[in-house]
Structure 1
Amino acid sequence: MFRKSIYIMVALLYLGCQDELDKEPDFISENVVFEDESLTEAYIADLYLNMNFQEIGGQGNLGMGLFAAAGAEHINFANWQYPNTSYTRQYTAVTGPGVLDHWPYQNIRNMNILIQDLPKSTSLGENYKKSKLAEVRFLRAYEYFELVKRYGGVPIITEPQSMDDSQEDLFPARASEKEVYDFIYNELAAILPNLSESKTGAQGRVDIYTALMLQSRAMLYAASIANFGEVKVNGIVGIPSGETQAYYKLSYDASKEVFNSQRFRLIDDNTDKAANFASIFLNELNDEIIFAERFEPFIKGHSLDWLANPDGLGLEWNSNYPVLYDFVELFDFVDGRTGKSISRSDLTFDNSWDITDFFGNRDPRFVASVFYPETEWKGQKIYFHSSTLVNGIEVNDRNTILTKPNGENIPAAAAARNVRNTALLLRKRLDPSNIATQENNSGQDFYVFRYAETLLNLAEAAFYLGNTEEALDMINMIRDRAGMPPRTEISEDYIRQERQVELAFEEHRFWDLIRWRTATEILGNVRTSGLVYRYNLDTGLYNIRLKNAEAADRVFGEERYYLPFGQSRLAENPNLIQNPGY
């Protein structure tokens, strides 16, 4: 019955594209779906549609902040928004994995149907069938990667299940974490010869470079887990340390193949390094994109601009993603000072700061990614101060407009939503040309893989393989594009810092902290911080102090490196073993 419903759905997708619906039958048999190229393409399009390349759920797509909130890059505006529950909730066998869950076996089943039935087609050409099988096997490998990074070992199901199957097949046991990563690698290796060498990834369709990048990323994760993790439950979670170098080499080789293809480049077309970096995420189909999820306003749109623009622009919803100062400190200054060179003990209202030096002279990637006081945006300055000193008197009425000595007007206090939480806001990927923001009227693509990650993966793998000069070269290529001074030496910390600032807010950091096994230190027993600003009208400087960004300390224990299975999921499959610590 389930299989028939899938074919009915595909038939409807197909018929919806026809000009004369009354000439087509009401039902298309499952026997002919994979005999027709249009129906096959419709079926595959639905598989893509059900992929979770980017978290985009919730009211107005506010879930786009999920992994940044979990990874302490930014939070969501209010705690009722579900991304904030990713770090405020408890993780137990009773509460389960919560909003971080992803259990895509329904989509995997649909993939398995195609993988089983498409080769039987007598109407479609062999080359076509091979290319489509390769495409869908990539999607299945990607789903297993999403599973393994959350749960460790999971059941590997490669054929559609039937009610007539044996108990062993209906209730499969968990494979080891190593077996899942090996399955991902081997699947990708098998399909590489049948994937296009034409660059179609930026258009949202899998090509050979997309598959190589999943190999690059997944094998880097496996290497990290072998290097820094611990094997438990007979290997269901964890990878033996003796496999470390082999996995780094597999990641290195895949990254190197993309690098040597010379089909991609770091976008570096503007001497204004901040503007250049911002342009990467607004100029679609550019040469840095390896694979993207495509969006089109309203047709398949999202609401990033509606959610994330600062307050004070007369827009309906705004300021939804406050950036944490703890994360800002990772961004160094262009003159070589570290991001933490400003001592937190100096952040009191007794000291004054030039806001351009405090923020504007940081890494241009920060300037392109975060709104801070006096950021120029859509033809005006964005403010974040809570009050203004005027002749020594503090004024905090945001309706009062003051005049600077240079004749420029400034509100005595910034718009309310800008001030709340951290007084820093997400800017990365926002479109300044989207003036009248609405729900679903953003069309910026989400980059699943881009060339900067290729170089970062290559650098990390090369470093652990002992190729330190090559690792340094890769990091400096990225820093040169960013407008940052070159490193003269390489280290684990430098590689990790570069990855976090380059890929900030792109759904990487949370998973990186987990695979590096540093999340207990960075996300555990920590109260994250925001800032409070007071502007001095006479000096043009700011007093800046810290404030708590969150109501309580974050908690992240060792058990959290894997998510728990909820009781209902364990009840559904008696052979599903709970993860350790729960």
Structure 2
Amino acid sequence: MMKKLFSYTALLMLLLACSCSSVLDIAPQNIIQGKDVFSNESAIKAYLATLYNKIPIQDNNYQIPINAPNINYMSQLTGESLNNAYRWMNSVGDGTWLQWWGYDAVRDANEFLENISTAEFPDDQKKEWEGQVLFIRAYYYFELVKRYGGVPLITKVQNFNGSNLDSLQVPRNTEKEIYDFVASELDKAAQLMGETSAERGEANRYAAYALKARAMLYAAAEAEYGHVALNGLVGMPASEADHYWQAAYDAAKKIIDDKKYSLYAKQDDKAENFADLFLDQDNPETIFAEYYSYPDRVQSYDNRARPKPENGGHVCPTLEMAEAFEYTDGSDGKLKLTDSQGNPIEYKDPAALFAGKDPRFAATILYPFSSWPTGDVEVRAGIIDNGQTITTNDYNQLYQGMHIIGDHGIGGNLGNTTTGFYVRKYLDPAYTETDAAVSRGNDNPYIDMRYGEVLLNYAEAAIELGKVSDAAWAVNEIRGRAGIKLLGDGEVTRDRVRHERQVEMAFEGGRRYWDTRRWRLADKLINNTKFTALYPYYNFKDKAYIFKTLKVGYALTFYPKLYYERIPPAEISKDPKLIQNPNY
């Protein structure tokens, strides 16, 4: 049901008209409040759909800056990828790129919760609906607090009577108060919801636990690595870190212990198995997902990220991301480009450069000359002949009968890669060039919460609490499914857990961005930083490939103020009790 299009009833449209743009989305006195909606089951379900639809999930349609005319994705904020037109991406934002001041959504959730208890439906059904909306409202507040820190905590519908504006102007709560509210609401939601979802796309008890584990991990990291400012409006008390690590650990453990979900493991081929995880809708790993339905609502990721045609290639993984994937024996993932004397190694089969890599690498990244249904991904930057390097930006230009650059880059049309790589994760091999050329759109789901993330959340909380064996078990569950060397307890450190998270969850919902932000590492990792491309060149004489590296794109810097978004000035002008975040 989530994020589908519905033909709303007239009553529902009246209800949704209650949201307005005044202080914290209070309703004007002359707007019908739409209580009659709660006597109609179809209207209630449509109302629920709109509430789910307002969750700002950083999915495969999510672009930055918000409403930008150019096609940029969150992976481009961290060096996971660059755009193939990298001139479009010359910063990591100014504190406004990830805005979501979602009090219209909060108001609609509050309206639902105030009316559902008196609706004439069986108590079990009303409790289920109430639990779902508590989950949704907690999700809203989590998305607010991770952006802004403390925000006004509004749990009742506000109505303007013509003379009560001052009482409706609400100051910010502390960041701690918001995280505590999120935890409490998710506990209530879990008690009210069933173990399974009545309809796909709806939350259930385990989605509440999964969101709590995620949110408490953020709260714990803010306490552990951040600092308190503005009397607690931003930042978490350091003394509370273990409390929140434990809350994350406990919530993840509930999912693990109940064994209702498991890692996706339908195929023997480890790379194909991991790729299919993100396409198979009959999936034991999916806890909460966003579903689409062609042609009413589709996602555009396949069209924009796949190799060619001209509008493709907008997600080009960097060499740094490619080398983050280890080899199956557990050794460092650095590619073997030169010999011990620093001379380029020649590869008769260019794909052999990537042999022995973690199978998740091939399931996540399309590397030069890897296989794809439309043909091998021919990424060639030029030709070397008798010491002369020959390049061009024109794919049609030949050298002794051979195209100088490959069909998929480097150079040529806009669909070609900037870095030598294309993204693979979430792309559907059945989505054809014809589909892409007509911008058909794809209706494969987007997984927002999965069991793999739960294991990684559990591992991170465990390592921070000193529960090394628990962390090792969870990390090895992930590595075992991937098909790479397992780790002994003594090898499992905070950095190893974080690294496992980086490769397992690459290109998923901006996870890497939010992780480096909550760990307070973003300003160190992205500090006047340029990222690297891998360019294959064909040695015409030896009939073999060598690979060169090149820094490409703009140098990016993450400024410390970006650990919190700027509160929209228009909101402060409407509510002078709000205090702006530091350094804005």
TM bucket (normalised to shorter chain) is 0.7 to 0.9
Distance in 2 between the 1:487 and 1:459 partners?
A: 13
User: How far 1:547 moved relative to its partner?
Assistant: 2.0
**Of the candidates 89, 108, 111, which is equivalent to residue 109 of structure 2?**
111
Q: 2:328 aligns with which of 323, 334, 338?
A: 334
Aligned to 1:42: 46
CA distance in 2, matches of 1:434, 1:337: 35
Bigger drift between 44-53 and 140-149 goes to 44-53
Alpha-carbon distance in structure 1 between the residues aligned to 2:69 and 2:371: 25
2:179 aligned to 169, 181, 193, which one?
Answer: 181
Question: Could you tell me which of 281, 284, 289 is aligned with 2:281?
Answer: 284
In the comparison of the two structures, how many residue pairs are matched? Answer: 545
Residue in 2 that maps onto 1:170: 168
2:57 aligns with 53
Cα separation, 1, equivalents of 2:341 and 2:557: 26
Q: Which moved more, 1:510-519 or 1:32-41?
A: 32-41
Question: Mean alpha-carbon deviation: is it higher for 150-159 or for 56-65?
Answer: 56-65
Q: Distance in 2 between matches of 1:213 and 1:62?
A: 34
Q: Tell me if structure 2 keeps the 8 A contact 1:459–1:495.
A: yes
Q: Per-residue CA shift, 1:3-28, capped at 9, x if unaligned?
A: xxx984625999xxxxxxxxxxxx99
Equivalent pair of 1:61/1:302 in contact (CA under 8 Å): no
1:382 aligns with 2:384: no
Which structure 2 residue ranges, 5 or more long, are not aligned? 1-7, 17-30
Which of 256, 268, 272 is the equivalent residue of 1:271?
Answer: 268
1:570 counterpart residue number: 572
Displacement after TM superposition at 1:248 (Å)? 0.8
Q: Partner of 2:194: helix, strand, or coil?
A: coil
Name the structure with the higher helix share.
1
Change (3 A) 1:176 1:541: farther
Correspondence list, 1:470-485, <5 A: 470-485=470-485
- Which of 112, 116, 129 is matched with 1:132 structurally? 129
Q: Deviations over 1:395-442 (max 9, x none)?
A: 546336789xxxxx9743113246552121111110111112242521
Instruction: Look up the match of 1:412.
Output: 404
Is 1:317–2:311 an aligned residue pair?
yes
* Alignment map for 1:82-97 (pairs within 5 Å): 84=89, 87-89=91-93, 91=94, 97=95
Q: Give the 3-state SS of the residue equivalent to 1:99 in structure 2.
A: coil
Of residues 492, 513, 517, the one that matches 1:490 is 492
Q: Which structure 2 residues correspond to residues 194-233 of structure 1 after superposition, within 5 A?
A: 194-199=192-197, 203-233=200-230
What are the Cα deviations for residues 82-138 of structure 1, in whole angstroms up to 9, with x where unaligned? xx36x354x2xxxxx3221111111111111111112122x2222211111111111
Deviations 1:224-259 (A, max 9, x none): 111111111111111111111111111111100000
Deviations 1:297-353 (A, max 9, x none): 322111111111213xxx352111111222222111123321236589999885545
SS at match of 2:548: strand
Alignment-derived partner of residue 508 in structure 2: 506
The answer to whether 1:542 aligns with 2:531 is: no
The Cα of 1:266 is off from its aligned counterpart by: 0.8
Q: 1:528 to 1:284 in 2, by over 3 A?
A: same
Instruction: State whether residues 228 and 516 of structure 1, in contact with CA within 8 Å, keep that contact through their aligned partners in structure 2.
Output: yes
Distance of 2:579 and 2:282 partners within structure 1: 44
Cα distance, 1:510–1:347 mapped onto 2, change above 3 Å = farther
- From 115, 118, 139, the counterpart of 1:120: 118
Q: Which residue of the partner structure matches residue 456 of structure 1?
A: 456
SS in 1 for 2:316: coil
Candidates 217, 238, 242, aligned match of 2:239: 242
Q: 1:534 offset after TM fit, Å?
A: 0.7
Moved more, 255-264 or 434-443: 434-443
* Residues 385 and 419, structure 1, Cα contact 8 Å, conserved in 2: no
Alpha-carbon contact 2:169-2:575 (below 8 Å) kept: yes
Deviation sequence 1:337-376 (CA, Å, 0-9, x none): 2123658999988554563343343211111111111010
Residues 213 and 251 of structure 2 are in contact (CA less than 8 Å); yes or no, is this contact kept in structure 1?
A: yes
Q: 1:426 to 1:197 in 2, by over 3 A?
A: same
Q: Residue in 2 aligned with 1:523? A: 526
SS of equivalent residue, structure 2 residue 556: coil
- Cα distance 1:49–1:419, how it changes in 2: closer, same or farther (>3 A)? closer
Alignment check: 8 A CA contact 2:15 2:33 kept = no
Kept in 1: contact 2:337–2:345 (CA 8 A): no
Q: SS in structure 2 opposite 1:550? A: strand
The answer for the alignment partner of 1:190 in structure 2 is 188
- Structure 1: distance between partners of 2:168 and 2:583: 27
Q: Give the TM-score, by structure 1 length.
A: 0.87
- Cα distance change of structure 1 residues 322 and 341 upon mapping to structure 2, 3 Å threshold: closer
1:535 partner SS:
strand
Instruction: Determine if contact 1:336/1:485 at 8 Å carries over to the other structure.
Output: yes
Rate the CA distance shift 1:480–1:442 in 2: closer, same or farther, 3 A: same
Q: Which runs of 5+ in 1 are unaligned?
A: 1-5, 15-26, 92-96, 404-408
Pick which of 65-74 and 238-247 moved more.
65-74
Residue 401 of structure 1 contacts residue 410 of structure 1 at CA under 8 Å; is this kept in 2? yes
- Whole-Å separation in 1 of the counterparts to 2:342 and 2:99: 41
For 1:566 and 1:236, the matched residues in 2 are separated by 16
TM-score (normalizing by structure 2): 0.86
User: Are the counterparts in 2 of residues 514 and 561 from structure 1 also a CA contact under 8 Å?
Assistant: yes
Q: Distance in 2 between matches of 1:493 and 1:344?
A: 28
Offset of residue 479 of structure 1: 0.5
For structure 1, which segment, 409-418 or 357-366, has the greater mean C-alpha deviation from structure 2 after superposition? Answer: 409-418
> 1:77: how far off?
2.9
- Indicate if the aligned counterparts of 1:54 and 1:446 stay in contact, CA closer than 8 A: no
Match of residue 429, structure 1, among 426, 435, 444 = 426
Q: Report percent identity of matched pairs.
A: 32
Q: 1:322 to 1:169 in 2, by over 3 A?
A: farther
Q: Which residue of 2 aligns with 1:367?
A: 362
Amino acid aligned to 2:365: V
The code of the aligned residue for 1:43 comes to Y
- 1:67 match: 74
**Displacement of 1:64:** 7.6
Deviations 1:28-86 (A, max 9, x none): 982321011111111111212222223425699998853212222113333576xx36x
Quickly say closer, same or farther: Cα 1:53–1:128, change in 2 above 3 A.
same
SS in 2 for 1:388: strand
> What is the 5 A alignment of 1:16-31?
30-31=34-35
CA shift digits 1:128-157 (9 cap, x unpaired): 111111111111100111111111111111
